[in-house]
Amino acid sequence: TQLQDMAKEKVEAAKNMAFAFDIDGVLAHGNHLIPEAREALKMLNGDNELGIKIPYILLTNGGGKTEESRCDQLSEIMGVPISTGQFIQSHTPMSALSEYHETVLVVGGEGFKSRDAAEAYGFKHVYTPKDILAWDPTISPWRHFAEEDCVGARPTDFSKVKFDAILVFADSRDYATDMQIIMDLLLAEHGQLLTRAKDPISSRIPIYFSHGDMVMPTDHKGPPRMTQGAFRIGVEAMYKGLTGVDLERVIYGKPELATYKYADDVLMAWMEEIHNETRIPENIYMIGDNPASDIIGGNMYNWNTCLVRTGVFQGKDGENDLNSPASMGTFNHVLDAVKAGVRNEL
């Protein structure tokens, strides 16, 4: 029975820990699996000495499509089922904004997929820069506009539309057009295209960005590539240059506090789903590749943090990040990090 007691204790410890995984640079590179990730997730799904599920969520600054379609895609890549109940992408917490804004411009992502996400969140009228281009291609003077750009666009007379807010959900695929249209709306009289406000500040509509990462890992041979944070700085600088005032904006995603609070709610609901217990595990391990996002955010929220070398961070073995060191140190890949976390608790 001493053995039984020990086993019981271990089971409790397994349910009192949890992992939060970053995706890009930890579990996958774009649509390519990082091979050790599959074994890591299988282990947490119950393929371990206790045969018990160790809770985990995915906390990514990625986005640009619905949670459902991304989870389907991830399940396929990982070869392990990923549920929307354990998944948070950068814009997931922005669903709460649909209570306050009806008509929105959604920027970034492939085709019109960000529109699907915004509609799933309950925003009533969701437009994209491509809808606006299809209405009037001259809005973006240097863009070569082709007929196929109209496929999927919603024919709309934008001279009559009043936007309530701008939501940047993912990387812009056309900086020039997107920045022009964002600037037009920020400078307009209450979010109406073709107008210019006399007093740009009091009639300015709000702008929200889904995350602040400056760079991301890609297939490029050189250093990491620019992402939404760099785009935002461009928007801010243009706005300041044109008006002389700072642009007020809201940023979601890691390392913002709101995202970690949201993650707590998701973890609680997920614990209920897999263990029928209404509580948040006490010992949480964030596994990330970006010190300026995953690690600093996890450290600020008192999670344990593990930095892997398969993404943005490229330090040598034994070297931690100087500005935001991971509390558990660095690892060659996600499986080593998961094993270290499990070893720490069980």
- Binding residues for ligand G3P (CB under 6 A): 22-25, 60-62, 213, 216, 227
Residue count at the site for Mg ion (CB under 5 A)? 6
Per-residue burial over 256-293, b if 16 or more Cβ lie within 10 Å, else e, is beebbebbeebbbebbeebbeeeebbeebbbbbbbbbb
> Minimum distance from CB of 115 to ligand G3P (Å)?
19
Nearer to ligand G3P, 128 or 227 (CB): 227
Site string for Mg ion, 286-315 (x = CB under 5 A): ---xx--------------------x----
Q: How far apart are CB 212 and ligand G3P at their closest, in Å?
A: 9
Interaction partner, residue 140 (Mg ion, ligand G3P, none; CB < 5-8 Å by kind): none
62's contact among ligand G3P, Mg ion, none, with CB below 5 to 8 A by partner kind, is: ligand G3P
In the bound state with Mg ion, the residue whose beta carbon lies nearer, of 128 and 290, is: 290
Residue 1: exposed, middle, or buried by beta-carbon count in 10 A (0-12, 13-18, 19+)? exposed
Q: What is the largest CA-CA distance in the chain?
A: 79
Q: Torsion over CA of 290, 291, 294 and 299, rounded to 10 degrees?
A: 170
84 exposure class (CB count in 10 Å sphere: 0-12, 13-18, 19+): middle
Nearer of residues 24 and 164 to Mg ion, judged by Cβ: 24
Is 22 one of the binding residues for Mg ion (CB under 5 A)?
Answer: yes
Report the relative pairing of strands 32-33 and 28-29 from DSSP bridges. Answer: antiparallel
> Minimum distance from CB of 344 to Mg ion (Å)?
22
Q: Residue-wise over 163-195: b if at least 16 C-beta within 10 A, else e?
A: bbbbbbbbbbebeebbbbbbebbbbbeebbbeb
Can residue 321 be called a binding residue for Mg ion (CB under 5 A)? no
140-160 in b/e burial notation, b at 16+ Cβ within 10 A? beebebeeeebeebeeeebee
3-state secondary structure of 286: strand
CB of 238 to ligand G3P, least distance (A): 21
The residue among 304, 302, 329 whose CA lies nearest residue 315 is 329
> Backbone dihedral region of 259: left (phi > 0), alpha (psi from -120 to 50 degrees) or beta?
alpha
Please identify, using beta-carbon distances, which residue of 158 and 260 lies nearer to Mg ion.
260
CB-nearer residue toward ligand G3P: 164 or 321: 321
CB of 285 to ligand G3P, least distance (A): 16
Residue with smaller CB distance to ligand G3P, 62 or 191? 62
Binding residue (CB under 5 A) for Mg ion from 14, 16, 17, 25 = 25
Nearer to ligand G3P, 61 or 92 (CB): 61
Which residue number places its CB atom closest to Mg ion?
Answer: 25
- Cα–chain center distance at 52: 29
Nearest-approach distance from CB 197 to ligand G3P, in angstroms:
32
**CB closer to ligand G3P, 62 vs 298:** 62
Least distance in angstroms from the C-beta of 220 to Mg ion: 15
Q: How far is the CB of 324 from ligand G3P (least distance, A)?
A: 15
Give bridge partners of residue 306 from the DSSP assignment.
287
**Interacting partner of 256 out of Mg ion, ligand G3P, none (Cβ under 5 to 8 A depending on kind):** none
Report the interface residues with Mg ion, using CB under 5 A: 22, 24-25, 289-290, 311
